[in-house]
Each structure stands twice: as C-alpha cells, then as structure tokens.
Homo-oligomer: A and B are copies of this chain.
C-alpha cells in the first residue's frame, strides 16, 4: 500500500495534491481524459501529468486494486482489472457490445489502415457489398464520416473513431503494427500463386525471358 498512515504527521506534498485531483477528475469523467486537459486544468506540464498517472497506475497494481488507471485513446480512464472479468460478467452490463462478425472485423481492419476511404473502395478490396456492414459499424460508433472525396461523385469518406481506439484499448492508431507486418508469409503467397498457375506460364517465362514476376 502506498498510503500515508492515518495518523500521518506530514502534509501531502504537491505531487500528492495533483494525484488526488487527477483521481477525482478521471473518476467523474465518462471518457478518457486527455493529458493535455489535465495539464491545463491543474496548471502543470503534460510530462508531469503523465509521470504522476504512470506512477498512480503502478500504485493501483501494486496494492492489488480491482480497477486500473489505463491510458487509452490519448487519455486516462478507470476500468475494471482484467482479472476481475468473471465478476463483471456476472453483473448485468448494459451496452456490452456483441462480438463483431468476421465481415465486421475485416471491414474495420481495412478502414483502420486505409482511412480516409470510401465505401466503394472498401467494397473493392473485400469483393463484396459492404453497405450493411459499414452501417452497422457506424451505428456502433466505430466508424465516422471524415469527409468527402473531392473527385466526381463526392463519395463519403470514412475513418475510425475515438470510440474505436477506446474499445481496442490502444492509445492511438500509431500503436498498431505497420500493415506490412500483416502480409501473408511467403509460403501462403506461393500457395496462392500456384493455385492460379497455368502450365502456359512456364512457356511464357521461357519465351519472354525477363517477364514480370509475380
């Protein structure tokens, strides 16, 4: 426990006052509170806020609290400790969203990496109509309209929302690994290539000598 003894004979220092104010503000917020906002309200620097919050999160963990102070979507929030999942599940939770379908996840994945992107572009990548899935994702607050294509047609362009980051539990999109790291491995690419290979390819290779390789 990191507490000052009840009968403590020293005043809370400045850091402690800041910590208490942060605890109070984050507790009453219903969304992650940005470091910048905390810094502005408490009139200290952003690094100081991050330092105190980092220490606070460690304190909670060390004293075995049933909750955590988490950094998500650019801010701080309280959340239940993952190891208390079983108890939380017993407690009826409103709005605990149903799992996304495979189609929903893939569509979300495409928008996350290709944003801003139009519905037609997502559809072209997936090879199916995605209108319904996109609408679902928008209703669930994962996708938002972020603008319009300047070209003809002025298609609506979509991006992922703050809410998406919150549900994903990451601080920002930059925390996602680069797209290249998700490319199928060379073995899979070979398999796909062989699946489409015709015997005439060999002839062509021989003939063209330096044709484009796949």
Q: Which residues of A contact B (CB under 8 A)?
A: 1-8, 12, 16, 19-25, 27-30, 33, 37, 40-42, 59, 61-67, 78-81, 83-84, 87-88, 90-96, 98-99, 101-104, 106, 126-128, 132-133, 135-136, 139, 181-182, 184-185, 187-188, 190-191
- Copy number in this complex? 2
Inter-subunit contact B19/A127 (CB<8 Å): no
Q: Which of A42, A84, A92 has the most CB of B within 10 A?
A: A84
Q: A64-B12, A95-B37 are in contact. Are A87 and B21 (CB under 8 A)?
A: yes
Inter-subunit contact A80/B133 (CB<8 Å): no
| Chain B residues in 8 Å Cβ range of A23 | 65-67, 84
CA gap between A135 and B29 in the complex, in Å: 20
